[in-house]
């Protein structure tokens, strides 16, 4: 589909979910679905209250302090995700990834 090749069939299968949009791993607490088991495990830490870092501005919690620091830039109006092609900046990483598809 995208032309990428992999040395291991398991790597190809893991990559293909990006194209299918499949999210087979579901949180039993809230029903949210994820592409990767690692994302589900990370998410489940939120339910177990493993939240060492909480934003005082909006109350959103993070399991990593680095994620909180990056998040707080949004409240300050900073746009930490910059396109290396054209220099346009974004507040969210997914906005940058969507933008990069135009280049």
Structure tokens at 39: 């994302």
64-103: same fold as 1-50? yes
Taking the C-alpha atoms of residue 97 and residue 94, their distance in angstroms, rounded to an integer, is 5
Q: Which CATH number fits domain 64-103: 3.30.160.60, 3.90.1150.10, 3.50.50.60, 2.40.30.10?
A: 3.30.160.60
Each domain of the chain, given as residue ranges in start order, spans 1-50, 64-103
Rounded CA separation 55/26 (Å)? 26
Side-chain half-sphere exposure of 53, counting CA atoms within 13 A:
11
What does the pLDDT look like over 22-72, one tens digit per residue? 888 999 988 899 988 888 888 887 777 766 688 888 888 887 888 888 888
Query: So what's the pLDDT on residue 84?
Result: 93
d(CA 82, CA 4): 25
What is the pLDDT confidence band of residue 99, given thresholds at 50, 70 and 90?
A: very high
| Chain CA centroid to CA 61, Å | 15
pLDDT score for 16: 81
**Confidence (pLDDT) at 87:** 92
Pinpoint the alpha helices (H) of the chain: 9-20, 37-47, 65-75, 93-100
**pLDDT tens digits, residue range 64-89?**
888 888 888 888 888 888 999 999 99
CATH architecture of residue range(s) 1-50: 2-Layer Sandwich (3.30)
Q: Tell me the β-bridge partners of 53.
A: 62
């Amino acid at each position: 589909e995208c032309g990428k090749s992999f040395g291991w069939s398991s790597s190809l299968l893991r990559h293909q979910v990006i194209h299918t949009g499949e999210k087979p791993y579901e949180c039993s607490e809230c029903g949210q679905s994820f592409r990767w088991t690692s994302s589900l495990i990370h998410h489940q830490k939120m339910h177990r209250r493993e939240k060492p870092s909480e934003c005082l501005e909006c109350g959103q919690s993070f399991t990593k302090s680095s994620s909180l620091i990056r998040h707080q830039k949004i409240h300050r109006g900073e746009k930490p995700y910059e396109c290396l092609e054209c220099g346009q900046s974004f507040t969210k990483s997914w906005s940058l990834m969507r933008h990069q598809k135009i280049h």
